[in-house]
A and B are shown apart, each in its own frame.
Chain A
Amino acid sequence: MAMTIATRKRLVTALLIGPSAAWLSLFLVLPFIAILVFSVGERAPEGGYQAAFTFAQFMNLPARATAFWNTMILAPVGAFFCLLVAYPTAYYLAIKAPARYRMLLVSLVVVPFWTSLLVRTYAWIFILGARGLPNLLALIGLPDVRLLNTPGAVLLGIVYGYLPLMIMPIYVSLEKLDCRLLEASADLGASPVRSFFNVTLPLSLPGVATGVALVTILLLGEYLIPQLLGGGKVFFIGNALVDLFLQSRNWPYGSAIAVTLVSVVVLIITLAMRLAWRFAGTRQVDLV
């Protein structure tokens, strides 16, 4: 009988994990192995890939240093600006919003996801283009202002596009906040500002960490927003990758960059999450 139970347990585990494991092996592990193989190959004479064993592609990585650097700067900066906008919204939704409207307001945050990011980003082209905002600025005496195809436009698009992804985790962590803690803090003489920084903010850090990590990770692979709002001038590493596969047809070099990007991202995320969890985790234990 004991054997049967153990077997059944293993079977249940296999059934639970099986689908996702199969999915990931097929669509993540196998393609990654293919990219690893490509990355040590050579560009075929007409473009594409031909088999070889060389690290020349990795030696050439500095030729994409600017795009890499742009990504490493703009991803965290974009996440930071997202956070600045998202936190007050999440705070309002979780703590200040009237209870009867709360679910309605929260679902409004999700509504933009019903339309493709592509379409919404395209809308910004019209708003930022010469016949949009610059046209209005010309009326108040600021002619020929250019907004589209600038780093500012890309940042705006990023904050706009990723805002819901930042709001939701912060909202969830603030919603769980025990309001009695704030009352206790006030009873003990803390000003509302001090209560916020000593009670509310630390307790919402897990949500902040999740939101920042989520947005940063997605931004590291961003392609669409810089392409549409940056005019091909504000270049992310994602754009460089697309170029290498779809224009210059240098698959091995593109693969080498992809492998490097994945390695760097995994490293950064591991470190960041470890730090965030340690920091937020201890605070939580102290307080609850």
Chain B
Amino acid sequence: MSKSYKDNLPITASALTDEFMRFKRGSVTRRHFLGVTGLGLAASVMSRGLPGAFNAEAFAGNLGTQMSLATWPNYHDPATFENFTKATGVAVEVNVFGSNEEMLAKLQAGGTGWDLFVPTNYTISTYAKLKLIDPLDMSKLSAFSAATESPRFTHEGTVDGVTYALPKNWGTTGMSINTAKVKTPISSWKQYFEVAMTEADGRAMVHDYQLTTIGSALVSLGYSFNSIKSDELAKAEELLIKLKPHLYGINSDYQPAMRSTDAWMTMCWTNDGAQLARDMPEIIYVLGKDGGEIWTDFYAIPKSAANKPAGYALLNYLMTPENAVKEHIANGAPTTDSRVLAMLPADVTSNKIVYPDEAALTPLEFGAAITLTDPNRAELMARFKAA
């Protein structure tokens, strides 16, 4: 991979350093610690001291001093937000979530305070239908270029001809396996669940997320990732409940456990797989030959956003290729924008974790909108966790 600030980190950093890096990547503890220790407030106060020096013309208009972003664990280059704050005076509070359902639940309950968030492809039509997100005012997003986007990944941002969301990056849901600990070769979800109950007993993780956890269980049984058929779901539930006592944990923020080697294998997203393999070469990233998920994450602006000007400003900032390139290098997710792809260093674009061969992607499925709201999948996941 490229020369990022992370390259110099020793592989076996102490737990504290590890945790600090998680903060910097914007992981779950950041939300907790920001809220609990008042660091979030401190950051906003400190940022208030700066804006005079950085009042860029490009960000004319009142953007306020603070905005809130809801996103996923380990998903951004912290420098992006620091630079955005320098340029605009707006401090970005980062909230991290482990599933789209959790984001939807918060938006349905109201009062999130998010000005920008990162939903996945299959959720956008539902958000638009429930009027939880705004149609985007493209005049405020001049950095976005529809012509250079790959429609295969970005078409779900548009609902009935109206653009509700702009693409962040695409990716896959595969498996990260610590080959120093797990010797059995794994190339399918069927094998993943088998090894989780045998060689990796007590050391495997699944997401706290119905789409991928139920979806992968379905795939391992030979069904569609998106199935909502009750007999197929019943079989998946049986498998998951049999698996549960053998699991290390049910958590979508699995990097800490993988890095400390508490967990030996986990269900894993492209960007996490790339980050783990970069720092610990013994951790490999594998796509299921029997199937799995291919996805695109988008940026959208909640209807309830308190600081929409700042939401648009950050979105436009992130759509600017020069800024997006740095994001992609840091978080290791593949881009949908050919302008950005052209600017990425060759060691990134040749990384097979980030840009797998087309043949490896063929068995994968995009998540289907129905899985987000299907009550049986929701209750199955909750029952599995409570079992």
Contact = CB atoms under 8 A, between A and B. Distances in A.
Interface of A: 43, 45-48, 63-64, 66-67, 116, 118-119, 122, 125-126, 129-132, 146, 148-149, 231-233, 235, 239-240, 243-250
B15 A132 contact: yes
A235 B130 contact: no
A231 B381 contact: no
Interface string B347-386: 0000000000000000000000000010100110111011
B136 interface: no
The secondary-structure label for the interface of chain B is: helix
Contacts of A249: 101, 104-105, 108, 378
Nearest to B383: A63
Contact of A231 (B129, B251, B378): B251
Nearest to B16: A126
A57 B128 CA distance: 29
Given A126-B16, A248-B379, A243 B36 contact: no
A161 B112 CA distance: 29
30 contacts: A46-B108, A46-B129, A47-B105, A47-B378, A63-B383, A67-B386, A119-B36, A126-B16, A126-B19, A129-B256, A129-B260, A129-B262, A131-B14, A132-B15, A146-B203, A146-B248, A149-B249, A231-B247, A231-B250, A233-B247, A235-B387, A243-B386, A245-B109, A247-B102, A247-B378, A248-B378, A248-B379, A249-B104, A249-B108, A250-B378
A235 B262 contact: no
B105 A239 contact: no
Given A126-B19, A250-B378, A232 B208 contact: yes
Interface of B: 12, 14-16, 18-19, 29, 32-33, 36-37, 99, 101-102, 104-106, 108-109, 126, 129-130, 202-203, 208, 210, 244, 247-251, 256-257, 260-262, 373, 375, 378-379, 381-383, 385-387
Nearest to A245: B105
A132 B18 CA distance: 13
Nearest to B372: A46
B386 A240 contact: yes
B386 A64 contact: yes
B15 A146 contact: no
B249 A233 contact: yes
A50 to B, nearest CB: 12
A66 B260 contact: no
A129 B258 CA distance: 11
Contacts of A248: 101, 210, 375, 378-379, 381-382
A47 B29 CA distance: 28
A70 B250 CA distance: 17
A57 to B, nearest CB: 12
Nearest to B12: A131
Contacts of B202: 146
A232 B386 contact: no
Given A131-B260, A231-B250, A46 B373 contact: yes
Nearest to A236: B386
A118 to B, nearest CB: 5
A67 B108 CA distance: 26
A231 B14 contact: no
Contact of B375 (A67, A118, A235, A250): A250
A167 to B, nearest CB: 24
Contacts of A148: 257, 262
A247 B382 contact: yes
B101 A247 contact: yes
B104 A250 contact: no
A1 B105 CA distance: 60
A220 to B, nearest CB: 16
B32 A233 contact: no
Of the listed residues A63, A118, A246, the one surrounded by the most CB atoms of chain B closer than 10 A to its CB is A246
A35 B251 CA distance: 29
Nearest to B377: A248
A232 B248 CA distance: 9
Contacts of B32: 118, 122
A142 to B, nearest CB: 15
